[in-house]
Structure 1
Amino acid sequence: MKLVADNIYHVYNQGNNKETIFRDHEDYISFLKRVRKRVFPIAEILNYCLMPNHYHFLIYTNQKSIESIQLGLLESQVLKNSFRLINSSFSIEFNNKYTRTGSLFRQKTKFKLLENKKDNYPFICFNYIHQNPLKAGLVKKMEDWKYSSFQDYLGIREGTLCNFELAEKLIDIHKDDFYNTSYSVINEKLADKLY
């Protein structure tokens, strides 16, 4: 699928065979540094969550994101290639650190266009991403998970990876009811359509 500018995408990948891809704090930070280097300059990150065996990003594309790039005989797009490079370089570091071999991630990072305005998929996906650690039982409150943008949105941490103003505009997020809305129950049938 070709990415199109000025659209919201749910971007996600998982450890190969659901293997753990982040074993310690440094792994999470190392991955986020790669995202800052490769994605931050070419797309708007609306929110994210890194989980022990997978990751989620909500991304708004622009013209830089969708530029065509030649990779040998294959043609790709800059944003897709950025995630390929992030996964590849992180895998090399991870394999060296933990003396392992083989692929760490599933072969292709998924990009799901969230275009259904009627069912408000961008809003549902935004909250779904932040709810991941809570639903997985990793924390009792979303604000306790360090590896998502939830703490940034609450003002607990001063993260600069996400474009808060754009998220408020595109997804209709309001600071005054952000916390309560974030904890609202998501219809599982709608959540299945985020993938």
Structure 2
Amino acid sequence: MYFAPDQLYHVYNQGNNKQRIFYTRDNYLFFLSKLQRHLLPHCSILAWCLMPNHFHLMLRLKDAPSYSSDSKYSPGDYKHDVNPIYSPGDYKQDVHSHPVSKDEMSKRVSKEMATILRSYTRAINNQENRTGSLFRERTKAVCITCTDGVAKNWYMINGVTVIKVETPERQYPQICYRYILNNPVAALLVTRAEDWEFSSARDVMGLREGTLIDREVIKEYGLTF
């Protein structure tokens, strides 16, 4: 996966052979704690939705800050010290740090995403007494704001950039944003998006003070739900 600076990405993966990846409420919370621990230092999360057999994220790289080579993370693995739906993050950065390029930031996000999926797979395999891969081999990261060939969401017709969606008048980031949050409704899991606990719909609707999403970046892009 490559994440270009200042672009939005739709990141998603599903269970291998479309198998279930979340079995209990604790599984969802465990996965969310991993997003908080591994991604928030590097990314702004604009939307997220965890479904029984897949997940969706909308991400943007944060501005390249200074990170220490020996920065430490908590919470502890699978102990739910921090509930990312309700509680603030617990990423701690050392005082002595060095600058990180945006290319390095992109590599870190890819590496952290792989770490999340590997460690989550180990936990579920142990829980369910299973072996083998839990997720599909490749996690997709589709640029939804790129117009420079980084992703295939845009194409040229007679020198005009055209967005690759069914109805061209719709802006793709907005449609993708609503698609992510409405996913549980489309899957007939609930009748209203806010009835599904494991998405950021409740947070953007003001029904919960979730700490994963970056409300300022959501506002910057004018995304509404």
Q: What is the TM-score normalised by the length of structure 2?
A: 0.70
Q: Is 1:91 aligned to 2:121, yes or no?
A: yes
In 2: Cα distance, 1:96 partner to 1:24 partner? 14
1:40 matched to which residue of 2?
40
Q: Over residues 75-121 of structure 1, what are the superposed CA-to-partner deviations in whole Å (9 max), with x where a residue is unaligned?
A: x8111111100000000000001100000001111100012677421
Q: CA deviation at 1:2?
A: 3.0
Query: 132, 135, 143: which one pairs with 1:102?
Result: 132
Going from structure 1 to structure 2, the CA distance change for 1:30 and 1:65 (only over 3 Å counts) comes to farther
Q: Is 1:122 aligned to 2:152, yes or no?
A: no
Of residues 127-136 and 60-69 in structure 1, the stretch that sits farther from structure 2 once superposed is: 60-69
Task: Give unmatched runs, 5+ long, in structure 2.
Answer: 65-99, 146-153, 155-162, 164-168
Q: Is 1:134 aligned to 2:185, yes or no?
A: yes
Letter in structure 1 aligned against 2:43: A
Aligned residue pairs total 168
In 2: Cα distance, 1:154 partner to 1:2 partner? 31
In 1: Cα distance, 2:21 partner to 2:101 partner? 25
2:14 matched to which residue of 1?
14
Of residues 5-14 and 115-124 in structure 1, the stretch that sits farther from structure 2 once superposed is: 115-124
Percent identity of the aligned residues?
A: 39
Going from structure 1 to structure 2, the CA distance change for 1:113 and 1:138 (only over 3 Å counts) comes to same
In 2: Cα distance, 1:87 partner to 1:120 partner? 31
Q: CA deviation at 1:68?
A: 3.3
Structure whose residues are more often helix by fraction: 1
Q: Over residues 34-85 of structure 1, what are the superposed CA-to-partner deviations in whole Å (9 max), with x where a residue is unaligned?
A: 000000110100010000000000001233694438xxxxxx8111111100
Of residues 96-105 and 114-123 in structure 1, the stretch that sits farther from structure 2 once superposed is: 114-123
Query: 100, 110, 120: which one pairs with 1:80?
Result: 110
SS of structure 2 residue aligned to 1:58: strand
Q: CA deviation at 1:3?
A: 2.0
Query: 61, 68, 74: which one pairs with 2:104?
Result: 68
2:92 matched to which residue of 1?
none
Q: Over residues 154-189 of structure 1, what are the superposed CA-to-partner deviations in whole Å (9 max), with x where a residue is unaligned?
A: 11111011001211111x13xxxx5xxx3xxxxxxx
In 2: Cα distance, 1:21 partner to 1:84 partner? 15
Query: Contact 1:43–1:65 at 8 Å: present in 2 too?
Result: no
Query: Contact 2:2–2:141 at 8 Å: present in 1 too?
Result: no
SS of structure 1 residue aligned to 2:49: strand
Query: Contact 1:45–1:162 at 8 Å: present in 2 too?
Result: yes
SS of structure 2 residue aligned to 1:68: helix
Query: Contact 1:39–1:82 at 8 Å: present in 2 too?
Result: yes
Query: Contact 1:14–1:53 at 8 Å: present in 2 too?
Result: yes
Task: Give unmatched runs, 5+ long, in structure 1.
Answer: 70-75, 183-195
